[in-house]
Amino acid sequence: MWIQKSIKLQPRQRGFHLITAEVSQQLPELRQIAIGLVHFHLQHTSASLSINENADHAVRSDMEAHFNELAPEGASYFQHTCEGPDDMPAHIKSALLGCELTVPVSQGSLQLGTWQGLYLGEHRNEAGGRTLVVTIQGQGSIEERRR
């Protein structure tokens, strides 16, 4: 079974945001999958996807602080500045963290570890909603296939 759809994420302020629940709510098709994979592709060059700590909010603020040190706004060597001082740092953060994830699915659920969650890294000061293309590949249960 293959399913592909686009889902829209809520606009968020700059920072790292736990999006596991929002994404899962928009994917009722996962419940049909006994075993498979789900691939997430973020269609943007100034935001990122990652898997990280889902319990302590300090991890998300620490991630933001670290990446702001790594790719600071207003660096004198940036040439791509026509969209604002946050634009080139946003592209660097997106390139470092990536815009794609693949997660196993078992018995209708994402198989994330106990302390893992899906993160959206929003790297722009003023961004709109972000779009994910989600591709689910998997096999339903024996009962599901008999129907």
Task: Write out the residue range of the structural domain in which residue 88 sits.
Answer: 2-146
Please count the structural domains in the chain.
1
pTM of the shown model = 0.93
- Can you give the CATH number for the domain in which 96 is found? 2.60.120.460
For residue 109, give the nearest of 57, 32, 41, 53 by alpha carbon. 32
C-alpha to C-alpha distance for 24 and 110, rounded to whole angstroms: 8
* Neighbour-count burial of 82, counting CB atoms closer than 10 A to its CB (0-12 exposed, 13-18 middle, 19+ buried): exposed
How many Cα atoms sit within 13 Å of 1 on the Cβ side?
20
Reading the chain (147 residues) residue by residue, the pLDDT tens digits are 999 999 999 999 999 999 999 999 999 999 999 999 999 999 999 999 999 999 999 999 999 999 999 999 999 999 999 999 999 999 999 999 999 999 999 999 999 999 999 999 999 999 999 999 999 999 997 556 555
- The DSSP 8-state label assigned to residue 27 in this structure reads -
The Cα–Cα gap between 137 and 135 comes to 7
